[in-house]
Amino acid sequence: MDWKAAVAWLQTRTNTPHCSLVIHPRLHAQLKSRGVRLFIPEENGKRRRVCSRRLCHAAAVQHISDEFPAQKKPLPKANCYGCGIQLQTDTPEAAGFVLPDKFALKHKHKQLDQLLCGRCHELSHGAMVAAVEDFTQRSSGAATINGRRLVTPEELRRQLAVVKDTRAIAVLLVDVLDASGSFLSRVRDFVGKNPVVLVGTKADLLPAGTDERDVLAWLLDTAAFKQLNTISTHLVSSRTGAGVSEAAAAILRERRGRDVFMLGAANVGKSAFVRALIQEMSRMTSVHFDPAAVGSSKHLPVESAMPGTTLSMIPLQTFASGGELYDTPGVHLHHRLPHMLTPEELQEVHPRRKLRPYVAPALQAHPASQRASLTYMWGALARFDVLDAPDGAQLVFYGPPAFKVHSLPLCGPADKPHLAPDAEEPLFGTPSVVARGGLRVAKEVTLQSTSAQAAVADIAISGMSGWAAVYLPAARASMTLRVWAPVGVEVYVRPALPVPNPIQGT
């Protein structure tokens, strides 16, 4: 709108000639913010003399607000350093929101790279704030949870397409407590021909007395079974720093100026490892010290037990010789247990200390058949039917304390012990199992032993930080198991993780 149109409207409201009108500052600011430019007419190159009459009616100011909507300037692009999402000031319910005043202040001081969005602020203080759409929301057709707009797993996965077309080093992270469920299948679809460094995380949570060299060899065998060739393999604890220096040495040795991408399933500890790696490289006493990492160490990605903490690529200027370190969104695998649990339940299933085994009492054979049978409920999230076993066979359960084990007489296929268990309180996860559609038979297997000194095999529930180990009393003994899990959750039978035998000496 030009000056003549604005003044024509003002004349109709005030009956004042335009040559004798001085616009009140409030009204002038309203017009200017809406793209209306006001000019004082000129005569012979000089401004026309005007009287001191002012227009300050509130009604006129309000009319300008209604008649000419504000033309909001687009925000400069900036991303949250905690999760990588683009910052915005319009929708408090969506990820990336920051208060407008805070954004303006940081923009004024050229510190937009130091902004943390509201969701990341909550996560860093222990809150469990969902931002990625999982089964619970899809089953209800909702795109929000607690008023927050959610990102889809497909959106996160599409961001990783750039990795295979980039000359880079790919660091594949696997949760060693859930190696079967968190090991990405078809890794080459993500990384192309780029070399891969394999890192097993959360080593500090393995049972006491575990020989990490044996676990590392077991992890190498797992990678070989997945047909993945790696240039090096490491076992680390991001919390204690164990193994981080060795992993850093391998990454820096093989990098050769290339970018480094951290990849893995959701909640395997990518951001935690990125933080530990940068802290290692920013210590002046470290043999891997890099001055560029000192600046990055001041604003690190947020780590949380909530799957889907990282929502976009986070480039970190960590290498003085060039190239960047990228923290990436976790891949949401539909067959994993965390993606069907509520945020409150997720807090309970995240272990905080070393796993301690629960050794179930030895099975006792029936006098008539000389064989044993029993049902174990592992919380409400897994059911083990021992259909046939020798006298003295045992199961050992490793998992979070919230997963209580209850033994029952052998249940039939139509029984639902997770709904009416013989326990003083409801089994953990019952509401989520019901919402998922109950338990279904995920695996039925017969196991045979070659030795009475070691576990025959592990039964692993995808996404669970733990497993059940099967011990048989003698060589060439056998056990038949039927394993139930929530609908859609996978169950794996794998070679036993090499941890100390808790049965010996009992």
CA 430 to chain centre: 23
The first and second tokens of residue 104, run together, are: 């303006």
288: left (phi over 0), alpha (psi -120 to 50) or beta: alpha
Q: Taking a C-beta distance cutoff of 8 angstroms, is the pair 272, 199 a contact?
A: no
The first and second tokens of residue 267, run together, are: 């909640």
| Fold held by 163-333 | Rossmann fold (3.40.50)
Element (H, E) at 104: helix 100-108
**Which part of the chain is CATH 3.40.50.300?**
163-333
CA distance 480 to 457: 12
Give the Cα-Cα-Cα angle 483, 401, 175 (nearest 5 degrees): 70
The first and second tokens of residue 211, run together, are: 């020989």
The first and second tokens of residue 57, run together, are: 């009616």
Element (H, E) at 251: helix 244-255
What single DSSP character describes residue 301? P
CA distance 198 to 165: 20
- In this prediction, residue 151 carries a pLDDT of 85
Task: Provide the CB-side half-sphere exposure for 148 (13 A, CA).
Answer: 18
Interior/surface letters 129-148, b for 16+ CB within 10 angstroms, e for the rest: bbbbbbbbbeeeeeeebeeb
* Interstrand relation of 259-264 and 168-175 (parallel, antiparallel or unpaired): parallel
* Locus of tokens 């003002």: 10
The first and second tokens of residue 221, run together, are: 């065998």
pTM for the model stands at 0.82
Tens of pLDDT along the chain (506 residues) come to: 444 565 565 555 544 444 444 455 555 666 566 555 444 444 454 444 333 334 434 444 444 555 555 556 677 889 999 999 999 998 888 889 999 999 999 999 999 999 999 999 999 988 888 888 875 555 554 455 555 678 888 999 999 999 999 999 999 999 999 999 999 988 999 999 999 999 999 999 999 999 999 999 999 999 999 889 999 999 999 999 999 999 999 999 999 999 999 999 999 999 999 999 999 999 999 999 999 999 899 999 999 988 889 999 999 999 999 999 999 999 998 899 988 888 888 888 888 899 999 999 999 988 887 888 999 999 999 999 999 999 999 999 999 998 999 999 999 888 887 665 555 677 888 888 988 889 999 999 999 988 777 899 999 999 999 999 999 988 889 999 999 999 999 999 999 999 999 987 55
Angstrom distances, CA of residue 46 to CA of 2, 24, 54, 122, 299: 20, 22, 21, 60, 56
- In this prediction, residue 199 carries a pLDDT of 97
